[in-house]
Structure formats: C-alpha cells, structure tokens
Structure 1
Amino acid sequence: MTNAQDKPDTRAIRVAIVDDHEMFRAGVIATLQPAFTIVGQAGDVDSSVAMIVQTKPDVVLLDVHVPGGEGGGGTEILAKSAPYAPDTAFLALSVSDSAQDVGAVIRAGARGYVTKTINAADLTAAIHQVSEGYAVFSPKLAGFVLSAFQGVPLEDSGTQARADEELNRLSAREQEVMRLIARGYTYREVAAELFISVKTVETHMSAVLRKLQLSNRSELTRWAAVRRIV
C-alpha cells in the first residue's frame, strides 16, 4: 500500500501560465491551484518575459501563439526568458498540433508539448514530469517531435515558404480559428475551445477566407491539408 508520505508534494512546484485567453488562464489556474503553487500569469510576449524573469517558475505552461513582442509568440518568449531562468522548464500547451508549431517550440527549447484537449489529470502529471527533467508530448505528436530533434525538414522548402508567406497574412487568433475549422470543428466547437463567441468565430473565418482568397471551408480544408498545416 502506498503511504501518503511517499506521494510527491506537487504543491512545491511553482507554475506560471502564458496564454492570451484570459478565461482559459483562469480555468487552468482553478484546475491546478489545489496541486501546484501558481506564481504568475501573462497574455503577451513582453509581459510574459518580464513575469518569467522575475518569478523564475519551475514550469511554464506556454501557448505557442501569443501576441506582442516581435511576433515570435512562444518561441520568442523562450528565447528571451530562458537565459534568465535557466532552471525553468517550458511545457507548450496549445490548441495547435501542427508540425510547424511543434517543431519550432521544441527546437527553441521547450521540454514538452501537449494540446489543450489534455485532461486535468494528464496535465498535472505532465507538469510533474517536466519539472523532474523528463520530456512529455501528446502521443500523436511523436513523429513531429522526432523530426524536430533530428533536424529533418518537415516540409519541402518551396511548399514551406509558400505556407509561411500565406500564414503571415493571418493574425495569431485567425490562425487558431483556421486550424480548428480545417480539422472539422464546427463554429460552436471552435467558440467553446477558444472561449470566444460564435459571432467572433464567424468574423475571424470571414477574414481568413478573404486573406487566403478562398471561398468556403471545404477549400480551406484542402488548402491546409496540401500545406500540412493541420
């Protein structure tokens, strides 16, 4: 029988949350606070870097697409804060499961990458594991992670360049909406996932189609599949 004293004291693990969705941050904090010590939260690049440098958490839950700074999102936060918080482990927690996002943040130094579909128990376990020095990834991301560590190109260079150029037309939020819609989410499901209204999803979707010069979600799905964005 396991003695209560044998169980790890996760409350000693100091955690910070970086995500531009305030309601999502609040939900994560409410979920984790009984088990961990929450030392900070932030929603943009500059405030995230300042918070991490000041508090030096044990683990940072890091969204990939965070506004502000020079537009580098989670990878920029890693690059700017990691030198000043060398003992901090970064665990990407993102709605995105694209090869580009996974590869970029792992190469930047994140110790793990899980998607926002993770449940509370698995997230708690992932935080504890990365705090102990282990790498943690959602199972279906394994191939992307292997490619990133081996330095294997995830795309043909020409296709990658075109995809990057087209993606740069979209804001970070529009990219999140685009990826979910391309994976088959309904507008209502996207709204629930991103903590925004259905009307806001419709507005972002209209902007995505206009900027990419597409007519409907079927064309968007084909566009994303060809570029291996989803």
Structure 2
Amino acid sequence: MAETGTCPRVVLVDDHALFRAGVRSELEGLVEIAGEAGDVDGAVATIAAVRPDVVLLDVHLPGGGGVEILRRLATEAPGAKCLALSVSDDPEDVIAIIRAGARGYVTKTISPTELADAIRRVQDDDAVFSPRLAGFVLDAFASGGGGGGGGAGGSAAEVAAADADLDQLTPREREVLRHIARGYLYKEIAQRLGISVKTVEAHVSAVLRKLQLSTRHELSRWAAERRLVD
C-alpha cells in the first residue's frame, strides 16, 4: 500500500483509448496512472507486472470482460484490488463483477475528486459503490447469492442475534449504518442527516466498536446479510 500522503498507483483498464486519456488527465495529481490496458490479456499482464494499489476496471472488454480479468488475477496477481468503473448500471453487470471479486462499482458519471476518493477507499480495503447501485449488491448478499462461502443465513438464532446487536445502537447510529450500507460517502450522509462529517465519523466508529467490526466493508456486508437495507 502507498504511504500516507502519496498518490495511489493505478492501472486503468478500458478498451477506449480516448476515455483512458480523459481519466488520466482528470486524475492528474490525484493518483499515479502506473499502467493502462485495453483488453483482457493486456490487463492481466500489466497488472501482474506493475502490481498497482488499485485497478480501475471496465466491465465490458474484448476477450471476456472484467469478470474474466478478475478470475485470472486470482492466480496471476492475487490480492489485486479492483474498482469497477463503467457506463453500465445494469444490476446483472454490478452483481457479476462484485461476485468475481471487485471491491466496488462506480459509474462513469462520477466526478474526478469522487473517483480519486473511491480509489483511496478501495486501497484501504473499503467497499465503494455509487449510491443507487449499492442496493443491487446488498440484495444479492441478503438472498445468499454472495460468492464463495455459505449463504446469508436466516435461522431464528441468527435473527435474534442480529436484533440484539442492533439494540446496542442508538437510532442515529442505525441511520448512519443504513446510509453506509447503501454506499454513501461521509459527506453525503452528513448532508442527508443534517450533521457534520466529524459527527458521522464518530457514529461510524461507535457502530464498528459495538458490532466488533473493523472496516466499512465489513459493516456493509453485516448490514446486507441481515437485510437492513431495502
């Protein structure tokens, strides 16, 4: 991981050279573009060679798309952190790329500063989603569709345990939890709830402590498994 204060090293994967040039220009000074690729084979080779902090990954690419890249990275560059950046907001695209291993999904309408923030959050092992896309992922995990391990579960004992955990939280902490689970940024939560960003941070810290979790990614997964977000 890059040291605090340095620019994250990023590999940009998109089959449109003009779009890559635009992203590179918009992110100048915010991140370091350490490599680029326009297809699956080139992407895997570049990522394996460069070992970036974060991969910005388009969903639809020649040779199998972003899902195929993620599958190959599992063996050729394990540990690579990928953030999907796509024009598509199709639920099937979102779920497929997250199940394949991407740590987040944002659309190409995102601003440069928001994109740079999303990159840093993925670098820090956070889960990042455009707000309107978060529900697709939460629904998938809540229905037991997450890849790998067992389903989200739903026994009476698990439900009771979830209720007991939620009882620890104040009403405001529950509000913040639901907004975090939907993928909102701290500043967006602050605006929606009419509180300061520092207050949001304090609530998140309290929720993490009470639920014995470590990161926002774990918090989002916890909320999804318990169907806390519609």
Residue 134 of structure 2 is matched in structure 1 by 142
Contact 1:10 1:128 in 2 (8 A): no
Are 1:87 and 2:79 an aligned pair?
Answer: yes
> Residue 119 of structure 1: which of 111, 118, 126 is its match?
111
Shift of residue 84, structure 1, vs aligned partner:
2.7
Shift of residue 35, structure 1, vs aligned partner:
1.8
Shift of residue 10, structure 1, vs aligned partner:
3.8
Contact 2:73 2:80 in 1 (8 A): no
Deviations 1:108-139 (A, max 9, x none): 00000000000111101000000000000000
TM-align CA RMSD = 1.7
Q: Which secondary structure state, in structure 2, belongs to the residue aligned with residue 39 of structure 1?
A: strand
Q: Distance in 1 between matches of 2:54 and 2:140?
A: 22
Residue 9 of structure 1 is matched in structure 2 by 5
Q: Distance in 2 between matches of 1:10 and 1:116?
A: 24
Contact 1:103 1:147 in 2 (8 A): no
Q: What residue identity is the alignment partner of 2:23?
A: V
Residue 51 of structure 2 is matched in structure 1 by 56
Q: Distance in 2 between matches of 1:41 and 1:33?
A: 14
Of 56-65 and 75-84, deviating more is 75-84
Residue 39 of structure 1 is matched in structure 2 by 34
After superposition, where does 1:164-203 map in structure 2 within 5 Å?
none
> Residue 105 of structure 1: which of 77, 92, 97 is its match?
97
Contact 1:107 1:149 in 2 (8 A): no
Q: Distance in 1 between matches of 2:119 and 2:16?
A: 20
Are 1:26 and 2:21 an aligned pair?
Answer: yes
Name structure 2 gaps, 5 residues minimum. 146-230
TM-score by length of 2: 0.59
Name structure 1 gaps, 5 residues minimum. 1-6, 154-230
Q: 1:152 to 1:98 in 2, by over 3 A?
A: farther
Contact 2:58 2:66 in 1 (8 A): yes
Q: Distance in 2 between matches of 1:139 and 1:90?
A: 18
**Aligned residues between the structures:** 143
Residue 212 of structure 2 is matched in structure 1 by none
Q: Which secondary structure state, in structure 2, belongs to the residue aligned with residue 83 of structure 1?
A: helix
Q: What residue identity is the alignment partner of 1:17?
A: L
Q: What residue identity is the alignment partner of 1:20?
A: D
Q: 1:10 to 1:126 in 2, by over 3 A?
A: farther
Q: Distance in 2 between matches of 1:139 and 1:86?
A: 28
Are 1:130 and 2:122 an aligned pair?
Answer: yes
Percentage of pairs with the same residue: 58
TM-score by length of 1: 0.59
Q: Distance in 1 between matches of 2:27 and 2:80?
A: 18
Shift of residue 152, structure 1, vs aligned partner:
5.2
Q: Which secondary structure state, in structure 2, belongs to the residue aligned with residue 60 of structure 1?
A: strand
Contact 1:48 1:77 in 2 (8 A): yes
Q: What residue identity is the alignment partner of 2:52?
A: P
Q: Distance in 2 between matches of 1:151 and 1:86?
A: 27
Shift of residue 39, structure 1, vs aligned partner:
1.1
Residue 194 of structure 1 is matched in structure 2 by none
